[in-house]
Amino acid sequence: MEAGKKKQGVQIAIFIITFVVAFFGTKWAMSQFKSSHSELKNAAVELNKMCPKMIDAATRIDSAVALDNTLQYHYTLVAIDKAVTTIPLEEASQFCQKNAQTNLDSNPSMKFYRDNKVSLEYHYRDKNGKPLFQFAIQTLKK
């Protein structure tokens, strides 16, 4: 009889320990997520204060939006009209994606995004606001 009570006591202790670890672990993880999301929201707010802004002769950043663990950028290619362009958009998308991934992976100013596994989405439109292409990148797993 005493062995049964001892076993029950051990099970209760394990349950309590598991519950406490899960509760505080989840609470910590959520605080990390909220902190990360707060940083993303702040980054979007600060970027939007400067928008619209020409990045180069052909590219304008129009806005940024923080969504969960994703920062979404909206660009316009100011010299492109989707209806008449002869530029291969798939190649342009691949070129932009490659450059964005290299920037995320190697630029010291992108450390926060790498450390917090933030996804970055890029949406490109033509000079008339018509969608051209979009892509998303993430920190490469090491």
pLDDT digits (tens, 9 = 90+) for 97-136: 999 999 999 999 999 999 989 999 999 999 999 999 999 9
CB–CB of 69/40 below 8 Å? yes
- pTM assigned to the model: 0.74
Could you tell me the maximum CA-CA distance found in the chain, to the nearest angstrom?
86
Residue 111: enclosing H or E segment and its boundaries? helix 111-115
Span 23-30, mean pLDDT?
40
Residue 29 tokens, joined: 């993880």
Phi then psi dihedrals of residue 108, to 5 deg = -55, -30
Residue 30: enclosing H or E segment and its boundaries? helix 2-50
